[in-house]
């Protein structure tokens, strides 16, 4: 007999609340309502033309087989060049493993470093899936709060209090989803001094607007850096990401990858090579546009009396504390959607510390941002 209890061991794995807001928004759109979408972190630009040309060419050449599990040599070489050119970090192609998107590599890197029952430190708020992925990998998430009063910077002294014999890794993300904050060099140095492996989710590294993009590898070798093509390269659906690890750990990472994925899609890897070789100008133009939007949204929020109270300088997000703290952020976002037609992400998606906040994504045109903020302001809900 098929019984729903069969899957009850997964009951603690939550869904993305922003997805539920999105589903409701789609329903409203199908009923003829106009919706402005600020709930997702998905660039509203097309992937670089070089990616498309490369894929068409690869398909003609029938480049759609399995590849070496760690990825095409040409792509790993380009990633080595990128880390040297863009972050001043010297690595070897043998330290790189390519996969279908960074999401899977988050899981892989936790399995790699953290045995069952060990602890992995994360921040609260943090990217929605971290806590779930750590649990799925059989480890225990240990939480360090980030506070708006500290500009959402990580307080390493507080983190130190959470270290135990079971701590196997610290998972960070800078520039950060959902706050848009870039961790300072002091924070990175203090983290490196702890001498504990850091899994550094660097998917927004290139979207750092006020300081030179950096990798945690600038601070420590004891790092599994995870990066990908979804954000700066506007290639979300292409599913291409990679990790960089010390040589000592790459063999185990490779074994996991062989068993769980075999290899990343060959023609998408070919596109990754083209983009890394040829699309820097296009991506820098998108970055410039994101920075215009960041400045625009921060100025407009201030003008409307809705100052977020801290300075986001990376990725494409702003967290905002709404006044009606009796409502959960999910219920609040649903109400905002129904009353204004603006879709936003509930802060709860990003941990209990995100409760009472919403996340606005400015991966949207200035015209839409302006219309959305005016609607939010006029609704007097915020």
Give the residues lining the site for ligand PLP (CB under 6 A).
Answer: 41, 101-103, 127, 173, 177, 201, 203, 228, 230, 236, 241
Tell me how far, at minimum, the Cβ of 130 lies from ligand PLP, in Å: 8
Nearer residue to ligand PLP within complex by CB, 257 or 306: 257
Nearer residue to ligand PLP within complex by CB, 69 or 230: 230
Tell me how far, at minimum, the Cβ of 239 lies from ligand PLP, in Å: 7
Nearer residue to ligand PLP within complex by CB, 178 or 356: 178
Residues 6+ away with beta carbon under 8 Å from 374: 304
Nearer residue to ligand PLP within complex by CB, 39 or 201: 201
Compute the distance between CA of residue 14 and CA of residue 101 in angstroms, rounded to an integer. 21
Tell me how far, at minimum, the Cβ of 100 lies from ligand PLP, in Å: 8
Tell me how far, at minimum, the Cβ of 161 lies from ligand PLP, in Å: 25
Nearer residue to ligand PLP within complex by CB, 125 or 356: 125
Find the helix packing angle between 366-379 and 329-340, rounded to 10°: 100
Residues 6+ away with beta carbon under 8 Å from 186: none
Nearer residue to ligand PLP within complex by CB, 76 or 239: 239
Residues forming a β-bridge with 242: 98, 227
Tell me how far, at minimum, the Cβ of 180 lies from ligand PLP, in Å: 11
Nearer residue to ligand PLP within complex by CB, 228 or 341: 228
Which of 217, 110, 114, 120 lies closest to 174 in space, CA to CA?
A: 217
To which residue do tokens 């106009």 refer?
Answer: 34
SS3 state of residue 28: helix
Nearer residue to ligand PLP within complex by CB, 103 or 153: 103
Structure tokens at 328: 């959960």
Which of 15, 13, 42 lies closest to 343 in space, CA to CA?
A: 42
Tell me how far, at minimum, the Cβ of 377 lies from ligand PLP, in Å: 27
Are 172 and 50 in contact, with CB atoms under 8 Å apart? no
Which of 118, 122, 37 lies closest to 353 in space, CA to CA?
A: 122
Compute the distance between CA of residue 313 and CA of residue 209 in angstroms, rounded to an integer. 6
Structure tokens at 327: 């409502």
SS (H, E, C) 220-266: CCCEEEEEECCCCCCCHHHCCEEEECCHHHHHHHHHHHHHHCCCCCH
Nearer residue to ligand PLP within complex by CB, 125 or 197: 125
Tell me how far, at minimum, the Cβ of 218 lies from ligand PLP, in Å: 19
Tell me how far, at minimum, the Cβ of 323 lies from ligand PLP, in Å: 27
The Cα-based distances of 332 to 17, 52, 325, 340 in angstroms read 12, 40, 9, 12
Tell me how far, at minimum, the Cβ of 6 lies from ligand PLP, in Å: 28
Please report, for the chain, how many H helices and E strands are present, in that order.
12, 12
């Amino acid at each position: 007999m098929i019984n729903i209890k069969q899957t009850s061991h997964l009951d603690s794995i939550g869904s993305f609340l922003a997805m539920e807001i999105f589903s409701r928004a789609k329903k409203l759109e199908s009923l003829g309502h106009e919706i402005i979408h600020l709930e997702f972190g998905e660039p509203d630009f097309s992937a670089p033309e070089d990616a498309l040309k490369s894929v068409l060419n690869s398909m003609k050449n029938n480049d759609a087989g399995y590849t070496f599990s760690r990825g095409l040599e040409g792509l790993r070489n380009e990633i080595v060049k990128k880390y040297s050119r863009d972050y001043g970090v010297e690595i070897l192609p043998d330290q790189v493993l390519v996969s279908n998107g960074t999401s899977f590599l988050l899981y892989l890197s936790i399995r790699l470093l953290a045995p069952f029952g060990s602890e992995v430190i994360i921040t609260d708020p943090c990217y929605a899936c971290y806590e779930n992925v750590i649990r799925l990998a059989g480890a225990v998430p240990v939480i360090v709060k980030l506070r708006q009063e500290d500009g959402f910077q990580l307080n390493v002294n507080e983190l130190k209090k959470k270290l135990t014999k079971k701590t196997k890794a610290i998972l960070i993300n800078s520039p950060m989803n959902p706050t848009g904050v870039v961790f300072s060099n002091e924070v990175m140095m203090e983290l490196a001094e702890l001498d504990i492996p850091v899994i550094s989710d660097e998917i927004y590294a290139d979207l750092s607007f006020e300081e030179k993009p950096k990798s945690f590898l600038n601070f420590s070798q004891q790092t599994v850096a995870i990066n990908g093509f979804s954000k700066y390269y506007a290639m979300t659906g292409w599913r291409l990401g990679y990790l960089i690890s010390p040589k000592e750990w790459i063999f185990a990472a490779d074994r996991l990858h062989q068993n769980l994925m075999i290899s990343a899609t060959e023609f998408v890897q070919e596109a990754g090579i083209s983009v890394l070789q040829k699309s820097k100008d296009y991506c820098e133009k998108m970055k410039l546009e994101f920075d215009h939007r960041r400045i625009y949204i921060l100025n407009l929020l201030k003008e409307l009396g809705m100052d977020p109270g801290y300075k986001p300088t990376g990725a494409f997000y702003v967290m905002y504390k709404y006044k009606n703290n009796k409502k959960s952020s999910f219920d609040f976002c649903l109400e905002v959607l129904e009353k204004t037609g603006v879709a936003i992400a509930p802060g709860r998606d990003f941990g209990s510390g995100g409760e009472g906040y919403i996340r606005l994504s400015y991966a949207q045109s200035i015209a839409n941002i302006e219309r959305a903020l005016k609607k939010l302001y006029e609704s007097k809900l915020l």
